[in-house]
Amino acid sequence: MSLSREQVLGHALAILDQYGFADLSMRRLATSLGVQPGALYWHFANKQTLLTAVAEAILSPRPPVCVPTGSAGTGSAPTAWEPAVRTWACGLREALLSHRDGAEVVASVLAVRPATLDPAGEIAAVLMAHAMAAAQARAAGMALLHFVIGHTVDEQGNAAMAEFGVAQAVDTEAQERFAAGLDLFVAGLGVRLSGGGG
Amino acid sequence: MSLSREQVLGHALAILDQYGFADLSMRRLATSLGVQPGALYWHFANKQTLLTAVAEAILSPRPPVCVPTGSAGTGSAPTAWEPAVRTWACGLREALLSHRDGAEVVASVLAVRPATLDPAGEIAAVLMAHAMAAAQARAAGMALLHFVIGHTVDEQGNAAMAEFGVAQAVDTEAQERFAAGLDLFVAGLGVRLSGGGG
DNA sequence: ACCTGAACACCGTTCAAGT
DNA sequence: ACCTGAACACCGTTCAAGT
């Protein structure tokens, strides 16, 4: 039986989890599939395309954000923005943490702006539904995205060092830093959204 | 005359500015210096060390942040935290923008936690001087750092695409997104610092 | 002290040719 | 349709040997 896209993707995730992003090469992936390097280029145009699929696989287990459906004039919206923002940020971080170097992979993929992947747009939609201007919501969404990804790259980098017996108090410190950073965003959003509503 | 560290560093910055981060290889750098690849390893232990020096060169032109010197009990501090935060963030972004792919280089170097480079610590010191708890100040400093670097990586990625004639309205949009994101941080910090002042 | 020469163990990608 | 074989143009790093 011939190779499938899903098989290649599965082995890519396996190499990522076992050996890390630096060891996820096309040649190593081919070896793990018992195939010549060139064979991979039948299923994926290039490494970038493969990595985009890997990033999508990392992010796709997240639940969709709950965008309020109420119209703008009916007073306070049916779903609160604050838990939505917190759930989105925590869910994103957990998805990134669920694979070794997940944050680094997703960061490298988002850097090339794939049309299929726009996590910032998800949370920007929520903010717009709460009467925030489109440009402001987009800016807030991207700032939140940069924070979550930057933080998690950091966190996973620390985890990689912890294998060499540095410490694991680093883990709880990272978690607290994430919570504090998220609180800062929520506080800032609160000034705009709770204060002058609409 | 023999090669000096400064010469190597200077040529590395020149390659970065002309050809970008992806083309900054040890072999290309050696060729540009008229020397064999192995010669570089007399002056720098490895590529990581060289890149750290490049990142330091990118960040060092920034002015030091102005940490207030007043003691904690004398009421409001002599220097305001808000302009300090804004100046630090804008100065960081400008330093990153001053070299092609500067944000990407600095991001890759900060990922390995060099002891000599801690931009988040600079602004955390300011917040602590304004009676913010150490852990909170550290978290805020890192969140700000992740935002500025993430944003600028994005901005420079767009600039690279703009060479292929996409648009340059992207430039002003990026600038406005940066301003809006920074405003969000300042608003969040204001809830903590202006409200219950130390 | 500082560099060359030459190797080692890798990369991503292409493409004629096979089946 | 799908893969092999083999090449092309690269990487970072090491290290004996030269000067």
Q: Are residues A83 and A31 in the same domain?
A: no
Q: Is there contact between A27 and strand C, defined as CB under 7 Å from any strand atom?
A: yes
Q: Which nucleotide's C1' is closest to A48 (Cα)?
A: C12
Are B178 and B102 in a shared domain?
yes
> Is position A26 within any domain?
yes
- Would you call B151 and A146 a contact, using CB atoms and an 8 Å cutoff? yes
- Does residue A132 fall inside a structural domain? yes
Residue A49 lies in a domain: no
pLDDT beneath 50, residues of chain B? 196-198
Q: What is the pTM assigned to this prediction?
A: 0.93
With a cut of 60, say whether residue A117 has pLDDT above it: yes
pLDDT of A173 = 93
> Is the Cβ atom of A22 within 7 Å of strand C at any atom?
no
Query: Hey, are the CB atoms on A180 and B135 less than 8 Å from each other?
Result: yes
> How far: B104 CA to C7 C1' (Å)?
33
Residue B157 within a domain: yes
B53, part of any domain: no
Are residues A70 and A40 part of one domain? no
User: Do residue B93 and residue B172 come from a single domain?
Assistant: yes
Q: Which residue is nearest to nucleotide D6 (CA to C1')?
A: A38
- How close does chain B come to A82, measured CA to CA in Å? 14
- Contact assignment for B146 to A145 by CB distance below 8 Å: no
pLDDT digits (tens, 9 = 90+) for B136-192: 999 999 999 999 999 999 999 977 777 665 556 668 899 999 999 999 999 999 999
Q: How much is the pLDDT for A12? A: 98
Predicted confidence at residue B198, as pLDDT, reads 40
Is A136 in the same domain as A167? yes
Residues B34 and B75 in one domain: no
Same domain, residue pair B96 and B182: yes
Check whether residue A81 and residue A165 sit in a common domain.
Answer: yes
CA angle B123–B125–B131, rounded 5-degree value:
115
Report how many domains make up chain A: 2
pLDDT for the residue A106: 98
* CA atoms of A181 and A159, how far apart (whole Å): 19
DSSP string, A147-195: HHHHHHHHHHHHHHHHTTTS-SHHHHHHHHHHHHHHHHHHHHHHIIIII
Residue–nucleotide distance: B47 CA to C1 C1' (Å)? 21
Q: What domain range is A11 assigned to?
A: 5-44
Among A142, A153, A181, the residue with its CB nearest the CB of B177 is A142
Nucleotide closest in space to A43 (CA vs C1'): D2
